[in-house]
Amino acid sequence: MAEHPELSAQERAGKAFPVSWDQFHRDCRALTWRLNSAGPFNAIVAITRGGLVPAAIVARELGVRVIDTVCIASYDHNKRGELQVLKGVSDATTKLGNGTGKGLLIVDDLVDTGKTARMVRDMLPDAHFATVYAKPMGRPLVDTFITEVSQDTWIFFPWDLGLSFQPPMRDGAA
């Protein structure tokens, strides 16, 4: 595990990568361009909660109207403890994917250690797995993504951010 297990993953990450709504929308559209040649897809499976936003944008661009969710929670979010599946794929979606996920598109906002992706891949081994961002540890689990950031980078998504005052650089701000 990491050098400072008492710190959260966010606190351990040395670099910050804040993403605006505009940037996120652009990156989701770029992701859809890449996915065009991998489809067509019968349905999208969003990994909640972070996958809901890119799934909505990708679904709109691809014209997919069947959207399902896999709901996953960490027992202890900060320490990235054990994952718990709160809701799996519905029977209707499983049928659409011929039981293996073929023709389904799984969408998440990012892959970090790959733990979440591994869990969902095991449910739907033949599905296409797409994320907007990827870190090196999780990258091998993803079929299509847009931007890679280093493992020690924390990505701040627009739905977790708010506008706040920034001190001038001459006062020591980075």
Ligand X SMILES: O=P(O)(O)OC[C@H]1O[C@H](OP(=O)(O)OP(=O)(O)O)[C@H](O)[C@@H]1O
Q: Which residues contact 146 (CB under 8 A, 6 or more apart)?
A: 27, 30, 31, 34, 132, 133
Question: Does 112 interact with ligand HPA (rule: CB under 6 A)?
Answer: yes
DSSP state of 3: S
Which is nearer to ligand X, 25 or 139 (by Cβ)?
Answer: 139
Question: Does 145 interact with ligand HPA (rule: CB under 6 A)?
Answer: no
- C-alpha distances in Å from residue 38, one per residue of 116, 119, 144, 151: 22, 22, 9, 27
Residue found by looking up tokens 């890449």 in the block: 34
Partner whose footprint covers residue 106, from Mg ion, ligand X, ligand HPA, none (CB < 5 to 8 Å by kind): none
Smallest gap, in angstroms, from Cβ of residue 50 to ligand X? Answer: 3
Smallest gap, in angstroms, from Cβ of residue 108 to ligand X? Answer: 5
Question: Does 47 interact with ligand X (rule: CB under 6 A)?
Answer: yes
Judge contact between 47 and 120, C-beta under 8 A: yes
What are the residues binding ligand X (CB under 6 A)? 47-50, 74, 80, 108-117, 138
